Structure 1
Amino acid sequence: MGNSNTMVGNVLANAARGAGFMRIWRRLVGGRSGSDVQLAGLQAFDNKQWALVDKLLQEAASPIDSETRMRARVRQLLDMYLHANGDDRVLFMQRLASGFGVDGAALEDAIVAYQEAQEPSDQLLAQARMADALESPRLRILKQFNLLPNGIESLVFMRAELLQSAQKESLAPLEQDLLRLLTLWFDAGFLELQRLSWNSSAALLEKLIRYEAVHEIKSWDDLRNRLDSDRRCYAFFHGRMPDEPLIFVEVALVSQLASNVQMLLDEAQPTHDTAQATTAIFYSISNAQPGLRGVSMGEFLIKRVVAQLSQEFPNLKTFATLSPVPGFAKWLHTRLADDDYVAQLPLQLRYMTEGEGDETRFERLQTIVQAQDCAHDSGLVTKDDLLVLKQWLQGECAHYLLNEKRRQEPLDPVARFHFGNGASLQQINWMGDTSPKGMRESLGLMVNYLYQLDAIDEQYHAFAKEGRLARSPEVKKMLTTRETLLVKP
């Protein structure tokens, strides 16, 4: 083991001198959380090394220096950070977070100068002074990473490690500045849309498999099916991270609205004739870089892909998603734990949700939904019971997506994303995802969000200004049916 650690340490030391270091570092770190990462052969910093880190950070915080000196210094800082073990990388970030904040006195002076300025020219100067005062020395340090070929990529991975750290709260000032910078550097105008296909590099295809976050890619055959002639996959790339997809979307070109993801991804299904396709189904959107969480890219990706597909396939008339409802089961579990709510349910539903022994109401319901055919055959429930169950769950899902909000935004993160893009809730699909994950998160329900091109802007503004959520007549009917099912106290 010792020889192995020494060898890896030497590889790291050599690789750090070239642009390939980040690729080696990612391969070693993999997907583990930042606090757990301990690269082989790396040692904890001693007092002399920490003194050097502090000296370099103080010098980097200076507002005046030459580009050559800044580049050399930030390269040394990055090298030290990447060669630190997991605990010391957190300590490194804490040094940035706890020091190098905004100078409060300078900011107050700038605010007073702005308030006292009378002439327009004096007001402009005061505004510039205030903007300078709001830029923390920490932000100046982070900006210098942009001088290095792999500097921006390094900050993306630093933020990913920060977000996974148990010390995240103490690192909040650093996280705020990182998010501010990355939001600027990863503006949609700097991103390049690329189509990924079976002819893409093996390394890139491996990343698609690894980064897929919605519907697991189970094999190379599964991936090939998702990249077939009636499928499309698009990703955003950044010029400073050319080998790393930032976010990608998978699309199926079909003839009608899809209601079941297993059928949509079934490798045995015949390939559709794209010339006859009228509907584009966005069935998976995956953020590939945890360090870019909170940086808006998904909405631009969807709209760019819609424009690309419209140009390539003029027959496409419908653009919709087949989306999960990841928060529904958790929300319903809480509802079923409330005796007052359960008392409003019709007798059929109360019977189906009565647990046995230590089984909760939700667990009982989950069992029936997962094995509904067997439950019917055994006489446990009737066909009428299952119909009522379906109507109730679809109605509850519609209520959850449209009426359960934090401030004016939906509780469900996927709903929040699509409504925020100007989509409408078109359809709620019974048994849309029968995978263990689908059953666990939403009792098998999936939904279609419709991107109606001539209504996107209007629906976006209605959501942004008033919190109004667009829905189809079919979904409205589900809400009405839900109201009739519940017994008023």
Structure 2
Amino acid sequence: MTLLADLLSTVFERRYRQPARYLRNDRPLEELAGDLVGSAGETSGLALAQDILSGFEDLNDEDKLVFFRTVAGRLNIDPEKVRTALDAYEKNPCKASYRDFMTASEPRRQELFRRLNRVPGATGTLVNMRADLLRLGDKDPELDALDLDLRHLFASWFNRGFLVLRPINWESPAHILEKIIAYEAVHAIHSWDDLRRRLEPADRRCFAFFHPSMPDEPLIFVEVALTKGIANSIQSLLAEDREAHPAEDADTAVFYSISNCQAGLANISFGNSLIKQVASDLAAELGGLKTFVTLSPIPGLTRWLEREGVEWHAAAPEEMKATAAHYLLNAKSRGTRPFDPVARFHLGNGAIIHAVHPDADTSDKGRAQSGGTMVNYLYDLAKVAQNHEKFATTQEVMAADAVKSLARSAALQQTSKGNADA
């Protein structure tokens, strides 16, 4: 029966793919998009959707922009219809008037993307389409609105309930391992041997989120080192000649690299769920684990120092350590939000700043972005919800007392230097 079902499915797929080829008539994709939103038939709609998706992938950047702008304009909301529907609902709030308001207030382009997503395998294509939109949009207000539509849909389609957490190890399929190498965004993987050192030893772990509609594409992954004590250097953590230890001996899980894989899923948050799920699973697997921390870069540090006119290149390690603590606690962007993007991410997830380490990343990239300084963010599983709520409400940066003391000493040094210069 399974074989028969597979054969029938194959025949059906071939039959409904034929109209897609037959319907290709070189009409602009914008016209096909209008037809798709207005079509009532499922089979004809699938053929139109396939034509649009295939045609879009063949467009150059200029024509992609034309498509985006046309869809954004022609399939936008009608403000007058929205006002009329809202007035009707306000006068008579009932199921019918609310349905009319929902229909009027939702742009028709959202329905376009839903119908495009009915094509098997279309979800990944739409993610790539949004990557093109972000790359080409250049803060165009009309295209910003189109992007918000896609973000709204993706937030539902990539809801945590649909994501699958999979361990990545040296036995994982080669095409997945190749993508881990390609997508690593924090500490580059230079070779297959380098990857093997991160995956094969008993005291190393890697986990990734996948979506059922994109089973061969990791969405985000985290690399973990199981250690005794808290790591304070990425070079020692990834050293070629380091000695591996039994996982059962570890008391600390160090999340040392978190990489988002899909540009088209920017601002769709997975990291929060990923870290907490992995920490919870590791705690269940290894009873000796008591501490869950990151060893994180500080990518905005030198940029902020240069913006503030601070010369950092000749700073001593302990001076950089104090300066980094001051930056993490006090440097702000857009009001009260921390300036550093990695700090915003982990603090927003309910972590606290636990410790700052100078000369922790001696790579060229590490020197350039933070003078080699790195930071541990501590995830106390019993307090992350409380810390998250406090940060979301007040934007207060939670930090260990030692980090606060470092930050105060840096602030005093800057004040003294300012007074001396005056």
Q: What TM-score does the superposition give when structure 1 sets the normalisation length? A: 0.77
Amino acid at match of 2:117: N
User: What displacement does 1:456 show?
Assistant: 0.8
Q: Are 1:414 and 2:414 matched, yes or no?
A: no
CA-to-aligned-CA distance 1:445-483 (integer Å, 9 cap, x gap): 000000011111111111011111210011011022223
> More displaced, 234-243 or 408-417?
408-417
Q: Are 1:464 and 2:392 matched, yes or no?
A: yes
Q: Which residue of 2 aligns with 1:69?
A: 44
What is the CA–CA distance in structure 2 between the aligned matches of 1:53 and 1:473, rounded to whole Å? 59
CA-to-aligned-CA distance 1:320-353 (integer Å, 9 cap, x gap): 000000000000011226xxxxxxxxxxxxxxxx
Select the residue among 45, 50, 57 that pairs with 2:33: 57
| 1:325–1:445 contact (8 Å) kept in structure 2 | yes
Select the residue among 93, 100, 115 that pairs with 1:144: 115
Select the residue among 358, 379, 382 that pairs with 1:430: 358
Q: Which residue of 2 aligns with 1:179?
A: 151
| 1:56–1:73 contact (8 Å) kept in structure 2 | yes
Amino acid at match of 1:397: A
Q: Are 1:165 and 2:139 matched, yes or no?
A: no
Counterparts of 1:48-447 in structure 2, within 5 Å, are 49=26, 51-62=27-38, 65-117=40-92, 122-165=93-136, 167=138, 169=140, 171-227=143-199, 228-336=201-309, 362=311, 365-366=312-313, 368=314, 389-405=316-332, 406-447=334-375
| 1:462–1:469 contact (8 Å) kept in structure 2 | no
What is the CA–CA distance in structure 2 between the aligned matches of 1:331 and 1:434, rounded to whole Å? 20
Secondary structure at 2:299 match in 1: coil
CA-to-aligned-CA distance 1:47-73 (integer Å, 9 cap, x gap): x73x442332222222x6122222111
Counterparts of 1:467-486 in structure 2, within 5 Å, are 467-486=395-414
| 2:167–2:207 contact (8 Å) kept in structure 1 | yes
CA-to-aligned-CA distance 1:404-439 (integer Å, 9 cap, x gap): 222232111100000000000000101110100000
What is the CA–CA distance in structure 1 between the aligned matches of 2:257 and 2:57, rounded to whole Å? 33
| 2:77–2:104 contact (8 Å) kept in structure 1 | yes
> More displaced, 311-320 or 472-481?
472-481
What is the CA–CA distance in structure 2 between the aligned matches of 1:308 and 1:474, rounded to whole Å? 30
In structure 2, do the counterparts of structure 1 residues 166 and 137 end up closer, same or farther at CA, with 3 Å as the change threshold?
closer
What is the CA–CA distance in structure 1 between the aligned matches of 2:212 and 2:112, rounded to whole Å? 22
User: What displacement does 1:166 show?
Assistant: 5.8
What is the CA–CA distance in structure 1 between the aligned matches of 2:62 and 2:167, rounded to whole Å? 39
User: What displacement does 1:104 show?
Assistant: 1.2
| 2:251–2:291 contact (8 Å) kept in structure 1 | yes
Amino acid at match of 2:51: Q
In structure 2, do the counterparts of structure 1 residues 168 and 407 end up closer, same or farther at CA, with 3 Å as the change threshold?
closer
What is the CA–CA distance in structure 2 between the aligned matches of 1:54 and 1:213, rounded to whole Å? 36
| 1:391–1:481 contact (8 Å) kept in structure 2 | no
CA-to-aligned-CA distance 1:282-317 (integer Å, 9 cap, x gap): 000000000000001110000110111011111100
Amino acid at match of 2:410: R
| 2:283–2:289 contact (8 Å) kept in structure 1 | yes
What is the CA–CA distance in structure 2 between the aligned matches of 1:69 and 1:58, rounded to whole Å? 13
User: What displacement does 1:85 show?
Assistant: 2.8
| 2:37–2:115 contact (8 Å) kept in structure 1 | no
Amino acid at match of 1:245: P
User: What displacement does 1:400 show?
Assistant: 1.6
Amino acid at match of 1:205: L
| 2:249–2:288 contact (8 Å) kept in structure 1 | yes
* Rg larger for: 1
User: What displacement does 1:94 show?
Assistant: 2.3
Unaligned ranges ≥5, structure 2: 1-12, 15-24
| 1:261–1:432 contact (8 Å) kept in structure 2 | yes
What is the CA–CA distance in structure 2 between the aligned matches of 1:254 and 1:470, rounded to whole Å? 24
| 1:98–1:173 contact (8 Å) kept in structure 2 | no
Give the number of equivalent residue pairs: 392
User: What displacement does 1:128 show?
Assistant: 2.6
Unaligned ranges ≥5, structure 1: 1-16, 19-47, 338-361, 370-388
Secondary structure at 1:336 match in 2: coil
User: What displacement does 1:129 show?
Assistant: 2.2
What is the CA–CA distance in structure 2 between the aligned matches of 1:167 and 1:430, rounded to whole Å? 37
CA-to-aligned-CA distance 1:259-300 (integer Å, 9 cap, x gap): 100100002000022111000000000000000000011100
Amino acid at match of 2:136: S
| 2:32–2:52 contact (8 Å) kept in structure 1 | yes
CA-to-aligned-CA distance 1:197-237 (integer Å, 9 cap, x gap): 00011111110000000000011111001002110000000
Amino acid at match of 2:30: D
CA-to-aligned-CA distance 1:135-182 (integer Å, 9 cap, x gap): 111111111122111211111000111111265525223212111111
| 2:30–2:67 contact (8 Å) kept in structure 1 | no
| 1:459–1:469 contact (8 Å) kept in structure 2 | no
Amino acid at match of 1:253: L
What is the CA–CA distance in structure 1 between the aligned matches of 2:407 and 2:347, rounded to whole Å? 18
Q: After the TM superposition, which parts of structure 1 deviate over 3 Å for at least 4 consecutive aligned residues? A: 122-125, 389-392
User: What displacement does 1:134 show?
Assistant: 1.5
| 2:318–2:358 contact (8 Å) kept in structure 1 | no
What is the CA–CA distance in structure 2 between the aligned matches of 1:328 and 1:152, rounded to whole Å? 37
